[in-house]
């Protein structure tokens, strides 16, 4: 699949790290370091603009290395970029650790996955079918 991209950053285009990678890493495109304090959140620019085809979205997800090593995650995981959005891709990061984290220009801050999706046509009814599970949720199986 080909996706149009404008790169206003000074970093290379996002690339898949391995043959079977689902996502590409996005990099911070900032003029100066950002010090992200514990429990603080920040909107980080990437300098990237994309044009997705109809029926697709881009999902912005945390990088597992930043999460486990530093407690840094994407706040609205997964963040959704709709096919009709034409603004800069910016990422909401939050520091869930107890120490400051410094975001540097070029830092790989998240990953982005391109995914197909459908739009539902809602059919309003008075009842829906019953199942064995029913309304059970939120750990109801005890597992």
Give the tens place of pLDDT for each residue, 105-133: 999 999 999 999 999 999 999 999 999 88
Can you give the CATH number for the domain in which 36 is found? 2.70.40.10
Q: Domain count of the chain?
A: 1
Q: Say whether 24 sits in a helix, a strand or coil.
A: strand
Which token pair is 139? 């750990």
**Is there a domain that residue 98 lies in?**
yes
pLDDT of residue 49: 98
Judge contact between 110 and 74, C-beta under 8 A: yes
Helix ranges (H only) for the chain are 64-70
Measured at the CA of 15, the angle between CA 9 and CA 82, to 5 degrees, comes to: 75
**143 — pLDDT class (breaks 50, 70, 90):** low
**Is there a domain that residue 89 lies in?**
yes
The whole-angstrom separation of Cα 46 and Cα 88 is 7
Buried b (16+ CB within 10 A) or exposed e, 93-116: bbbebeeebebebebbbbbbebee
**Is there a domain that residue 134 lies in?**
no
**Is there a domain that residue 141 lies in?**
no
**136 — pLDDT class (breaks 50, 70, 90):** confident
Percentage of the chain exceeding pLDDT 70: 99
pLDDT of residue 140: 72
**Is there a domain that residue 132 lies in?**
no
Mean of all residue pLDDT scores within the chain: 96
- Give the H or E element holding residue 36: strand 34-36
- Evaluated on CA atoms 68, 45, 83, 26, the torsion sign reads negative
Instruction: State the residue range of the domain holding 35.
Output: 4-116
pLDDT in tens, 33-54: 999 999 999 999 999 999 999 9
Would you mind telling me the total number of residues written for the chain in this entry?
143
**Is there a domain that residue 106 lies in?**
yes
**Is there a domain that residue 130 lies in?**
no
**Is there a domain that residue 125 lies in?**
no
pLDDT above 90 (res 27): yes
pLDDT of residue 138: 81
**137 — pLDDT class (breaks 50, 70, 90):** confident
């Amino acid at each position: 699949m080909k996706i149009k991209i404008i790169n206003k950053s000074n970093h290379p285009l996002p690339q898949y790290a391995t043959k079977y990678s689902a996502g590409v890493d996005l990099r911070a495109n900032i003029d100066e370091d950002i010090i992200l304090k514990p429990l603080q959140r920040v909107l980080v620019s990437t300098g990237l603009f994309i044009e997705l085809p109809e029926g697709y979205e881009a999902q912005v997800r945390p990088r597992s290395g930043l999460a486990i090593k530093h407690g840094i995650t994407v706040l609205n995981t997964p963040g959704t970029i709709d096919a009709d959005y034409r603004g800069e891709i910016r990422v909401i990061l939050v520091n869930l650790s107890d120490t400051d984290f410094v975001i540097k220009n070029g830092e790989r801050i998240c990953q982005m996955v391109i995914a197909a999706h459908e739009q539902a046509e809602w059919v309003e009814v008075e009842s829906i079918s019953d199942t064995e599970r029913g309304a059970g949720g939120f750990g109801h199986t005890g597992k």
